[in-house]
A and B are shown apart, each in its own frame.
Chain A
Amino acid sequence: MKPPQDRRPDAPSLLPRRRAPWVVRLYPPSFRERYGSELTALVEDLGPNRLVATDLLLGAVIAWLRPAASGQTAERRRRRLQASIATTWVAWCAGFLVAPTVTRMLDDPPVPNMTPLANHLLAISQVSWWIGGLVLLTATVPLALRSLPAALRARDRHVIAPLVPAIALCLAELGGVGAILLMRPSSPPAWSHPSAAFVGTLFAEGIGFFAFVLAAGLGPAISLTHAKPPARHMRLPAVLGTVVAAALAVTTVTSLGAVLLTQAAPLSILAVAVAGVSTLVALTSSTRGLKAVVARD
């Protein structure tokens, strides 16, 4: 069957045609290498609309969580390890704010119905948050040190470019913190507090922080998939990924317990909900990575 020659002008073209390839770019590089051209052609033939865009977005999420495993067994395993590490990283970045957010909402200042048990849960949440963060760094820093020098020498922009926004936003955030310190109540003393500049900087700092978390979550994951490190470099990070996922799960569950005990504000519940989804994603993906580590040919 030949695809239609006319582009169905009467079809609900709610998504501009030129944006279809952009949606396809959300798929993992390995998927795009294999199916990207066919997928783009099919979207063009069907006529892009919101349903197609939604279906593509869901397909992209599935492709990241369950990467196409065609090809040789060794390459399939390498892709599985790569996907697990990238997904666990993204999930941690999406969910790690739960502990500081809930602690801030419940304990600074303490809410009236704070109980000793809720306090204990917050303490456990913070300890597991630190453990998860340290294990994540232990897993990813050596992998970055092994992968990045070669990419820098080769000037591989596909590996380096995704990291640039996170680095730039990190520097901007540090500058913003410096500006807030300069504008705090005692400095300069002649200013009324809070001054418009102070409030504006604080607001920009908050927006910038979330942009930084987004860039720091997605950038390294995209960079990793382009770097294509060998499986032997990814075995330990994949094993440690399960520890990170478990730590995120403990952080989320204890935070949820504290929120329920104290009947805290909606923002805390939102943070716990985001962390809950992130935890499920991290546990699922890291378990698959662990299976790929222990599997035999």
Chain B
Amino acid sequence: MARRKQRLTWAEPSLFILHSLAEGPKHGYALVKDIEDREGVALGPGTLYAALSRLEAQGFVQALPGDERRRPYRITAPGKEALEDRLLAMTRFAETGLARLNVSPS
């Protein structure tokens, strides 16, 4: 079976971060609170910055000028593309699964 290498996996913190940044630039604390409020997932600071460092290295997010202690990040064009790919794949997965269960999305 062919195995595709995904740029984002299904449940990693990077996905939550890109999802949150798609709304607009945010610094670390705003990211943690937004993800906690919307998704109910509490990202720890170590997890958040490990993911942010990987996303920045991949060119998916970019740090904006600002206070050194609360630097905001924005999603880049490649980041938007990776997020879109992942969300579309998740949508297809959800649609197929719901159809197999004979559940119509409301």
Contact = CB atoms under 8 A, between A and B. Distances in A.
Contacts of A51: 44
Contact of A1 (B30, B46, B52, B68): B30
Interface string B39-66: 0000011111110111011000000000
B21 to A, nearest CB: 13
In order of increasing CB-CB distance, the 10 nearest A-B pairs are A59-B46, A55-B44, A68-B53, A1-B30, A41-B69, A69-B57, A42-B28, A55-B46, A56-B46, A45-B29
Contacts of A37: 68-69
Contacts of A3: 29, 70
Interface string B19-49: 0000000111110111000000000111111
Report which residue of A55, A60, A69 has the largest number of chain B beta carbons within 10 angstroms of its beta carbon.
A55
A141 to B, nearest CB: 32
Interface of B is mostly: helix
19 contacts: A1-B34, A3-B29, A34-B53, A37-B68, A38-B27, A38-B28, A38-B69, A39-B28, A39-B46, A39-B49, A42-B29, A54-B44, A55-B47, A56-B44, A56-B45, A58-B46, A60-B46, A68-B53, A70-B57
Interface of A: 1, 3, 31, 34-35, 37-43, 45-46, 51-52, 54-60, 62-63, 66, 68-70, 76
A1 B70 CA distance: 11
Nearest to B56: A70
B92 interface: no
A38 B57 contact: no
A39 B70 contact: no
A34 B57 CA distance: 12
A35 B47 CA distance: 13
Contacts of A76: 57
Interface of B: 26-30, 32-34, 44-50, 52-54, 56-57, 68-71
A58 B26 CA distance: 24
A115 B47 CA distance: 48
Contacts of B71: 38
Given A38-B49, A40-B69, A57-B46, 9 more contacts: A1-B30, A1-B33, A3-B29, A39-B45, A52-B44, A55-B46, A59-B46, A63-B53, A68-B53
Nearest to B70: A41
A45 B53 CA distance: 20
Given A38-B27, A38-B28, A38-B69, A46 B53 contact: no
